[in-house]
Amino acid sequence: MDSLKILVVDDESRMRKLVKDFLVKKKFQVLEAGDGEEAMDIFYREKDIALIILDVMMPKMDGWEVCREIRKDNTKVPIIMLTARGDERDELLGFEIGADEYISKPFSPKILVARVEAILRRAGQDSQEDTISAGGIVIDKAAHLATVDGKPMELSFKEFELLTYFLENQGIALSREKILNSVWNYDYFGDARTIDTHVKKLRSKMGDKGEYIRTVWGMGYKFEVDA
């Protein structure tokens, strides 16, 4: 993990320095951008960025625009969004446009770094079960590729993790709390609609196989393939 590049995008130089210092201590290589346009220039110039930490409120291009632009070309690079706002609607919008994590300012740099490491660990994790399949859906963990009836699905990092979790727990009713703890991998105090938003997008990308993700009313979801 020593040589991994992380792009930190924030218009506050003190915030960038704070985040950079903690990441450098963990042997990450840090690239900095002070606005959205600069972030896009760096993103297209540097082809091996492992993760992006992206502030929402910035001049020239805000974080929402940057996230949307990146997701047009790259659905896999993990994006952590930072915001000074505590509005739940902002958080849901972030997930709608493809953000993977959402952290409100002020935050602990140590917690941020822990989340960065957790995301990168899960993104590159080795597993003896590299391939999982069910009902025409195949997940190749090593290649980070999911297909439905042989056709690749364009999934965000978090959507891929969620689908993998569902397939690994076929036939088991999963509460929203359990899904959050397992897929988001931290104590999450936001609204359960975070999961509902991801499930809705995931179902649409699965086509008619989306019905495999069944709603368990009052509880959560269950992935089940018809016999």
- When pLDDT is cut at 50, 70 and 90, the band that residue 126 belongs to is very low
Measured between alpha carbons, how far is 54 from 60 in angstroms, rounded to an integer? 14
Measured between alpha carbons, how far is 212 from 170 in angstroms, rounded to an integer? 10
Domains and CATH numbers, the chain: 5-123 (3.40.50.2300), 131-223 (1.10.10.10)
Determine the average pLDDT of the residues in 172-191: 75
- When pLDDT is cut at 50, 70 and 90, the band that residue 177 belongs to is confident
Q: What is the DSSP string of 93-154?
A: HHHHTT-SEEEESS--HHHHHHHHHHHHHHHT---S--EEEETTEEEETTTTEEEETTEEP-
What integer pLDDT is reported at residue 86 of this predicted model? Answer: 63
Percent of the chain whose pLDDT exceeds 90: 48
pLDDT at 77 over 80: yes
- When pLDDT is cut at 50, 70 and 90, the band that residue 143 belongs to is confident
- pLDDT tens-digit map of 2-38: 479 999 999 999 999 999 999 999 889 999 999 999 9
Q: What is the pTM of this model?
A: 0.63
